[in-house]
Structure 1
Amino acid sequence: MPDAAAPKHTPAEVISTSVVVVSRGRGDELQRCLAGLSRLYYGAYELIVVTDPVGEAAVDAAGLRHEVKLIPYDTPNISAARNLGIAAAAGDVVAFIDDDAVPEPTWLTHLIAPFADDQVAATGGYVRGRNGISYQWRARSVDMQGRAHDLPINGDVPQMLTPPKDHAIKTEGTNMAVRRAWLLRLGGFDEAFRFYLDETDLNLRLMKAGGKTVVVPLAEVHHAYAPSPRRRQNRAVTDLFDVGASSAVFLRKHDPDGDHAIALGHLRQEQWDRLHRQVRRKLIRRGDMADVLASLEAGIAEGAQRDLGQMMQAEGSNDLLPLSSRANGQHQTLIAWRWSQRRIMAQARELAAQGVTVSLYLFSPDSRYHRLGYRLPGIWVQQGGVYGRSDRCQKIVQFTRRGCRAKKEMLRVQIVRQIS
């Protein structure tokens, strides 16, 4: 039987929230993201999708055409797209997630709770990477040259951190929320940042205006890093124009009197090292490096001339379009050997279709690494060897039995999925 119904009405739910998703050319990824967003344990939220025709088809495939605010937009400028989403938002808080990410079902519950304190202007959660287990980003600050620095944080309680001098608390565009009044006060996102450093610019402007940011460890999303015009499916870099352009814009805006030559030197070295690592891993050819680095230089040159302060336009009054979550508040854990996958997946799909949040563990009798992914219509699937490591900090071989291993993995996600 499914676990007891998870509590779906928390104090955070009195805070109405608009969730903005920007998507372009990623229909499959958007459909998966929407599946996760439509199964949140939260009662007062709306979905705003700013997308191209490919994304509109994904909204239809997800069965959400009449339950989301759909804004057609087919220009490669994520800041402008997010500003359109903010303009359509009716929630007291606006949350942001990327189309190649999927939230845990308690994502909004945790991310929005700190806004019960009127001092809080923004929140940011933790992001897990492509394997669904290791963290991609946790708590960080950012300096006036746009460089991020890890911040030590213990436990999973939300914390209002004090950043070092001339730093701001950094939130990730794929897992953040900002009080709508603050977004309107600041003019939303600066559309000069068409991609990269867009949310970082907002972080610094928020800090300079006195806004407080809370880091929320339990507000988790899984970020897949889908292919784009800048990278292939295997994350191989193909173009750095936007990285260069946004970096130049950022330095002009936030460090006008600084030594830009040194900062850009750091950027060039960082990207050269990144490409060289990909050459060693045979993701790109050495001969490709020159063209990719040339795109970085072209971006830097263009960013040095780009107009700054292209802010959102004034918006009108909007009504909240509340989404009725597909999640019924129940959770079911399924455990099976890999060779039983077809049978157990059929059972998982049947449960998910009823609104149950399903965590499925497929084990093999070996030491393969674990990976966790999200499958439609709403199934969290973790696969790997009984003796294999899940967290990449663990020893390569874990000596245990299947039942004990499953219990250990369940404990790791117990809070974020409200498993009783």
Structure 2
Amino acid sequence: MTATPVSATLESGVPVSIVIVSRNRPEALRRCLTGVEQLQYTPFEVIIVADPAGIAVARAMHFAGALKLVPFDRPNISAARNLGIAEAAGEVVAFIDDDAVPEPQWLRHLLEPAQQPEVAAMTGFVRGRNGISFQYRARRLSGSGEPETLDIDPETPSILHPPPGGAIKTEGTNMAFWRDVLVEMGGFDPAFHYYLDETDLNMRLARAGHATAIVPLAEVHHGFAANAMRSANRVPRDLFDIGASWAVFHRKHLPAQDRAAHWAHLRAQERRRLLRHLISGGLEPRDVPRLLRRLDDGHAEGVKRPIASVTLPEKANSAFRPFPARARRSVAMFTRPIKLARDRAKAAKRALSGEIVTLINLSPTALYHRVAFDPAHAIWLQTGGIYGKSTRDDAVFRLTRRLDRLQREVKRVARQRGFGDDHRR
């Protein structure tokens, strides 16, 4: 079965530069770029700031000639992002991590509130590894830089002004800023090698009086790929940069008399986190003191790490290089486990021909649903049971007809994926 496809149209708006920083994750970058190719927005350009392996992957993509490639092989995400901003010729600069994939309508929704005069930054919701649950939604920052949950309308953009002493949080894997504001702010502070880099920028934006738009339907899927700091299961491998970043943050944003107490609070939080991983089997007993020592070593280094202002070019170093975005119809295909291999091949052919394909494979069970972007076939694959959960507030078991459930799942992601209102066999 197939849901009726929607006429292909590209949303047109302000020119956007997408910056993707990648290091030691070439296959994740390939997946991200495969998803970026399906974005239904124009005009945008793509800037890859990456190590040699990432540059090699980018050069192997069939649209490599449309990419701006910036070699960079140091573990400093702030410095890497600043290099991307320097090359960005779009009016807005958007950021997505290399281990994330955007929904096809990501930029369309993310840029919707951009023309509101008080808006300097935009951020969206982030789905986690199962493609269903939200990893991040709406958050603000306390005066000490810690995130706090916000309750906003889950369907429409919310334009928020910073709370007293705090800020509105943008999510590093799903955020955008007017380029002239980034230049005015001095971009990202390279003293934050990893962690708190966008938090620091959020606090500076707040002090300057800028508003941030939180756009729920601007979704990306974030897998939390492994890196030097954590495993793929989010088990800490090294806490040095977390300690260093907090020390830098304290020097920039907290009164001197408050820093020691807040650091003690944060250190206790990290210790509890390590103990939870120890109990769940992710860490061994000897790992806990080792990681806490690394946290303390990082903090000691961050106390004396140089903090320097950054000057970004008012005009980009290179001309805008529009990505060859292609207007694509979005279509949902329905299958069953026994027919999955056959229908996956059919879906791949349709994706190759220029469609955005969602393949929904439901069994007659109550299995929880999962959604993943399959880079090998360039399709969105949803699996689970006809009677199983696909949202947090679903019942564990819901009796329903197969076709009704399929139509419900299409409707659930219609605005993010680009479906219309008419879905039938």
| TM-score, normalised via structure 2 length | 0.94
Instruction: Give, in angstroms, the shift of residue 308 of structure 1.
Output: 1.3
Gaps of 5+ in 1: none
Deviates more, 1:276-285 or 1:299-308: 276-285
Gaps of 5+ in 2: 421-425
1:395–1:258: structure 2 CA closer, same or farther, 3 Å change rule?
A: farther
Residue deviations 1:360-419, cap 9 Å, x none? 111222222211100124211111122221223433222223222211211110111121
Partner secondary structure for residue 57 of structure 1? helix
Instruction: Give, in angstroms, the shift of residue 350 of structure 1.
Output: 0.3
Partner secondary structure for residue 41 of structure 2? coil
In structure 2, the residue matched to 1:232 is: 231
**Contact map agreement 1:387 1:397 (CA 8 A) in 2:** yes
In structure 2, the residue matched to 1:362 is: 361
In structure 2, the residue matched to 1:210 is: 209
In structure 2, the residue matched to 1:408 is: 408
**Contact map agreement 1:124 1:177 (CA 8 A) in 2:** yes
Amino acid in the other structure paired with 1:285: E
1:134–1:201: structure 2 CA closer, same or farther, 3 Å change rule?
A: same
Deviates more, 1:170-179 or 1:249-258: 249-258
In structure 2, the residue matched to 1:117 is: 116
Partner secondary structure for residue 398 of structure 2? coil
**Contact map agreement 1:21 1:96 (CA 8 A) in 2:** yes
Identity of aligned residues (%): 45
- The answer to whether structure 1 residue 390 and structure 2 residue 373 are counterparts is no
Alignment of 1:13-412 (within 5 A): 13-314=12-313, 316-317=315-316, 318-326=318-326, 328-376=327-375, 377-412=377-412
Q: Which residue, 6, 14, 20 being the options, matches 1:4?
A: 6
Residue deviations 1:122-153, cap 9 Å, x none? 11111111111111111111123210111111
Amino acid in the other structure paired with 1:101: A
Segments ≥4 residues shifted beyond 4 Å: none
Deviates more, 1:84-93 or 1:204-213: 204-213
Distance between the aligned counterparts of 1:88 and 1:346, measured in 2? 39
**Contact map agreement 2:145 2:166 (CA 8 A) in 1:** no
Deviates more, 1:219-228 or 1:137-146: 137-146
Amino acid in the other structure paired with 1:419: F
1:287–1:365: structure 2 CA closer, same or farther, 3 Å change rule?
A: farther
Instruction: Give, in angstroms, the shift of residue 39 of structure 1.
Output: 1.1
Partner secondary structure for residue 66 of structure 1? helix
Partner secondary structure for residue 126 of structure 1? strand
**Contact map agreement 1:190 1:312 (CA 8 A) in 2:** no
| TM-score, normalised via structure 1 length | 0.95
**Contact map agreement 1:80 1:312 (CA 8 A) in 2:** no
Distance between the aligned counterparts of 1:212 and 1:164, measured in 2? 10
1:383–1:175: structure 2 CA closer, same or farther, 3 Å change rule?
A: same
Distance between the aligned counterparts of 2:304 and 2:154, measured in 1? 44
**Contact map agreement 1:33 1:99 (CA 8 A) in 2:** yes
RMSD: 1.5
Distance between the aligned counterparts of 2:241 and 2:96, measured in 1? 20
Distance between the aligned counterparts of 1:313 and 1:121, measured in 2? 17
Amino acid in the other structure paired with 1:357: I
Partner secondary structure for residue 203 of structure 2? helix
Instruction: Give, in angstroms, the shift of residue 43 of structure 1.
Output: 1.1
**Contact map agreement 2:237 2:291 (CA 8 A) in 1:** yes
1:258–1:343: structure 2 CA closer, same or farther, 3 Å change rule?
A: farther
Deviates more, 1:339-348 or 1:92-101: 339-348
Distance between the aligned counterparts of 2:103 and 2:319, measured in 1? 26
**Contact map agreement 1:329 1:356 (CA 8 A) in 2:** yes
Residue deviations 1:304-337, cap 9 Å, x none? 11111342443654311000124x3201111111
Amino acid in the other structure paired with 2:9: P
1:312–1:130: structure 2 CA closer, same or farther, 3 Å change rule?
A: farther
**Contact map agreement 2:89 2:315 (CA 8 A) in 1:** no
Amino acid in the other structure paired with 2:284: R
**Contact map agreement 1:18 1:90 (CA 8 A) in 2:** yes
Amino acid in the other structure paired with 2:299: I
Partner secondary structure for residue 65 of structure 2? coil
**Contact map agreement 1:244 1:296 (CA 8 A) in 2:** yes
In structure 1, the residue matched to 2:417 is: 417
Instruction: Give, in angstroms, the shift of residue 256 of structure 1.
Output: 3.0
Instruction: Give, in angstroms, the shift of residue 62 of structure 1.
Output: 2.4
Partner secondary structure for residue 415 of structure 1? helix
In structure 1, the residue matched to 2:423 is: none
**Contact map agreement 1:19 1:45 (CA 8 A) in 2:** yes
**Contact map agreement 2:162 2:206 (CA 8 A) in 1:** no
Instruction: Give, in angstroms, the shift of residue 206 of structure 1.
Output: 0.8
1:301–1:350: structure 2 CA closer, same or farther, 3 Å change rule?
A: same
Partner secondary structure for residue 114 of structure 1? coil
**Contact map agreement 2:162 2:211 (CA 8 A) in 1:** no
**Contact map agreement 1:189 1:312 (CA 8 A) in 2:** no
